Amino acid sequence: MESTRRDILLGGLALLGAGTFHKPVFAAAASYFAGTAIDNGVTFRTTNFARIDKQWRRQVVKYFSTEPIGTVVVDTRHHFLYVIMENKTAIRYGVGVGRDGFKWFGRATIDQKSLWPRWTPPSDMRKRHPELPEFVDGGSPKNPLGPRAMYLHRDGVDTGYRFHGTLEPGSIGKDASSGCIRMFNEDAIDLYQRCPIGTAVQVLPHIADQAPQVSEVTPVE
């Protein structure tokens, strides 16, 4: 597969000062951030939610599902992740999902979680992009996993897919990743707190077409 600008950003490469990208691209990317915060001793850039469409912001919605409370359901077509709650509601998060050729569907469980995880590019990604480093330390501003990673397993085997933060808030709501589910860093922190080890996950092509339309949503703090 051809190298794309998004792939290179995903790798967190130190090419930003090498003239590879034009200044307007940097300005657009920088505008998605607003200030900094400290989490577990690591300083990170916070999301400028004033630039984010309201549909991608974390919120409580009406949601009808036969899945048990606490299950995570991902609607890849509409770029939403739901945590099933009581009283036919769910917490809904906007997410970025796999681009064409990297989408996946099915059931899994969160069998591992990590604070400020180290990122090791998969071997197939390094074949496509040999310029990628062997790893990026957790907490590095170039680490594409951000502050949290939740590792998805099936039948005790790591699928290679994760829920994690992002260096690119503008990619939320898009088909942008190599299969992992991207979230705003603040949302990745929030989801991490809500999902214990063993949380059931279902990734579907689409489900929002069947969801009831609601006129109001309640933001989640």
Catalytic residue among 78, 79, 153, 164: 164
- Check if 78 is active-site: no
CA angle in degrees (0–180, nearest 5) for 30-33-37: 135
Give me 34's structure tokens: 């607003």
Q: Containing H/E element for 204?
A: strand 199-204
Look up residue 21 and give its DSSP letter: S
Contacts for 36 with CB less than 8 Å, ≥ 6 apart? 43, 44, 45, 46
Considering just the CA atoms, what is the radius of gyration of the chain in Å?
17
- Check if 164 is active-site: yes
Report residue 164: phi and psi, to 5°: -160, 175
CA angle in degrees (0–180, nearest 5) for 88-61-71: 55
Query: Which residues participate in catalysis according to the annotation?
Result: 164, 180
